[in-house]
């Protein structure tokens, strides 16, 4: 009895040591944000008494989970804040147009699929000044932001024409919205690397957005539906003996950890088979099953940025070690700092300044490192760092693909 004080999100393990406040990127730049301890376990005790104690400033939480990584007590501080936003935040929901803005930012696959066929038009329109002013003034999307460009051809359309029948063993690829609508090249690189490892690629029978943007914008119900659908598809792939691999740290983290913790979707059966390509590939190389042959003329001076959710997964080791296997790769591992974008967070007008202030430390360390490329496993970090430093940002998978011997 009483050996392990379990409560929802380990609320009671909090000893009030405040180590989480040491690493919270938002607290540092925004005095309105009460910080992880007050927003999480302190606030939760009062919210359990009466939801009227819910603090609207919880909206500033980036859900970066750095507090959880720092916590010596295993308190799921970030989860607690996410859950509070879902449970108690409805009374605080903004009405009208801001709601539409959040919905637009959250509905990555719907907006993506509407936009792709008209990509040149959408890109042109989203980038022009009058439209930006409307987005800024009416929708509350900051005018400094450029929406990630929508690609003309969806990844899935390209993939349908790829012949993978020559392989006798397969992995299943969860590509995510970003690869499908905005950056099919990463998907193509993924296929190239997996094929080079001797495996063919399948896609899930059905794939929906992982739901991270829906959750952080308060649409938990819709996120849950999409999560159920994704899990069902993944179970089929896993039953067929295929691991489900990804190329985005945030989608991976969301489906592995936020599904059970925040959405209440059990996934113990799926978790061991759901991982980033870099983790899977490292394991295959370490066990001697796979050998990659790299070009001799490859050369890159790059800095690796550990995305917040990558840090929470604890998997940056795999990406870094793979990158270090590439001859001609001169790699600097950056000190762990948040870039400030936090998915759709940094797109909101009210968050733009905080987002940039948080990122400034990281931008400075990148510029100091004297590199020509930045590498990271997260697509939203990519937008932010490209905008903040002017340097190209690549996913390690793309670098591996480029460095492979043809």
Binding positions for another protein, rule: CB under 8 A: 1-7, 11-19, 21-23, 34, 37-38, 41-42, 44-46, 48-57, 68-74, 91-92, 272, 282-283, 286, 311-315, 317, 333, 335-336
**Closest separation between CB of residue 6 and another protein, Å?**
5
- Give counts: helices (H), strands (E), the chain: 23, 8
**Closest separation between CB of residue 36 and another protein, Å?**
11
**114 or 286: whose CB is closer to another protein?**
286
Which of 239, 398, 246 minimizes the C-alpha distance to 326? 398
Tokens, residue 136: 């800024």
Burial class (CB in 10 A: 0-12, 13-18, 19+), 367: middle
**25 or 41: whose CB is closer to another protein?**
41
Residue 406 three-state SS: coil
**Closest separation between CB of residue 283 and another protein, Å?**
6
> What is the Cα gyration radius of the chain?
21
Which of 63, 48, 52, 62 minimizes the C-alpha distance to 89? 52
**17 or 364: whose CB is closer to another protein?**
17
Tokens, residue 268: 């113990």
Measured distance CA(368)–CA(308) in Å, rounded: 21
**Closest separation between CB of residue 55 and another protein, Å?**
5
167-170, Cβ contacts within 8 angstroms, sequence gap of 24 or more: 167/195, 167/198, 167/199, 167/200, 168/200, 169/198, 169/199, 169/200, 170/199, 170/200, 170/201, 170/202, 170/242
**72 or 117: whose CB is closer to another protein?**
72
End-to-end CA distance of the chain: give it in Å, rounded: 61
Structural contact between residues 29 and 23, judged by C-beta atoms closer than 8 angstroms:
no
Taking CA atoms, 102 is separated from 34, 56, 87, 139, 154, in Å, by 23, 16, 18, 9, 24
**222 or 256: whose CB is closer to another protein?**
256
**54 or 181: whose CB is closer to another protein?**
54
Tokens, residue 178: 């970003």
Which of 104, 116, 92, 81 minimizes the C-alpha distance to 11? 81
**42 or 136: whose CB is closer to another protein?**
42
**Closest separation between CB of residue 400 and another protein, Å?**
19
**54 or 178: whose CB is closer to another protein?**
54
**Closest separation between CB of residue 83 and another protein, Å?**
14
Q: CB-based contacts of 42: which residues, under 8 Å, 6+ apart?
A: 14, 16
**Closest separation between CB of residue 80 and another protein, Å?**
12
**Closest separation between CB of residue 359 and another protein, Å?**
18
**40 or 187: whose CB is closer to another protein?**
40
Measured distance CA(78)–CA(134) in Å, rounded: 33
Tokens, residue 147: 């929406």
**116 or 376: whose CB is closer to another protein?**
376
**Closest separation between CB of residue 257 and another protein, Å?**
11
**Closest separation between CB of residue 322 and another protein, Å?**
13
């Amino acid at each position: 009895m009483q050996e392990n004080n379990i409560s929802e999100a380990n609320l009671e393990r909090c000893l009030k040591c405040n180590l989480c406040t040491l690493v919270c990127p938002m607290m540092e730049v925004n005095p309105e944000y009460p910080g992880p301890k007050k927003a999480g376990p302190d606030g939760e005790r009062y919210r359990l008494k009466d939801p009227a104690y819910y603090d609207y400033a919880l909206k500033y939480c980036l859900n970066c989970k750095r507090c959880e990584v720092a916590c010596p007590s295993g308190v799921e501080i970030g989860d607690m804040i996410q859950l509070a936003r879902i449970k108690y935040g409805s009374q605080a929901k903004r009405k009208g147009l801001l709601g539409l803005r959040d919905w637009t930012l959250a509905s990555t696959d719907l907006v993506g699929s509407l936009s792709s066929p008209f990509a040149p038009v959408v890109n042109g329109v989203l980038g022009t000044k009058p439209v930006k002013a409307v987005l800024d003034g009416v929708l509350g999307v900051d005018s400094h932001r450029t929406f990630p460009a929508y690609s003309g051809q969806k990844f899935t359309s390209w993939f349908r024409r790829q012949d993978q029948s020559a392989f006798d063993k397969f992995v299943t690829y969860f590509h995510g919205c970003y690869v499908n609508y905005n950056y099919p090249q990463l998907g193509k690189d993924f296929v190239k690397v997996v094929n080079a490892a001797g495996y063919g690629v399948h896609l899930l029978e059905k794939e929906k957005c992982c739901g991270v943007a829906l959750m952080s914008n308060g649409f938990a119900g819709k996120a849950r539906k999409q999560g159920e659908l994704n899990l069902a598809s993944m179970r089929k792939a896993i039953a067929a003996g295929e691991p489900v691999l990804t190329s985005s740290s945030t989608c991976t983290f969301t489906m592995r950890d936020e599904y059970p913790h925040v959405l209440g979707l059990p996934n113990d059966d799926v978790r061991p088979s759901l991982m980033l390509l870099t983790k899977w590939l490292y394991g295959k190389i370490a066990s001697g099953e796979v050998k990659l042959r790299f070009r001799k003329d490859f050369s890159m001076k790059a800095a690796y940025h550990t995305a917040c959710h990558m840090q929470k997964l604890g998997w940056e080791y795999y990406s870094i070690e793979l990158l270090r296997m590439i001859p001609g790769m001169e790699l600097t591992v950056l000190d762990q700092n948040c870039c400030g974008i936090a998915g759709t967070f940094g797109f909101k007008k009210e968050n733009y300044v905080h987002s940039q202030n948080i990122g400034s430390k990281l931008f400075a360390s990148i510029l100091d490192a004297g590199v020509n490329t930045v590498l990271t496993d997260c697509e939203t970090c990519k937008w932010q760092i490209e905008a903040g430093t002017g340097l190209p940002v690549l996913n390690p998978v793309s670098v591996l693909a480029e460095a492979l011997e043809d």
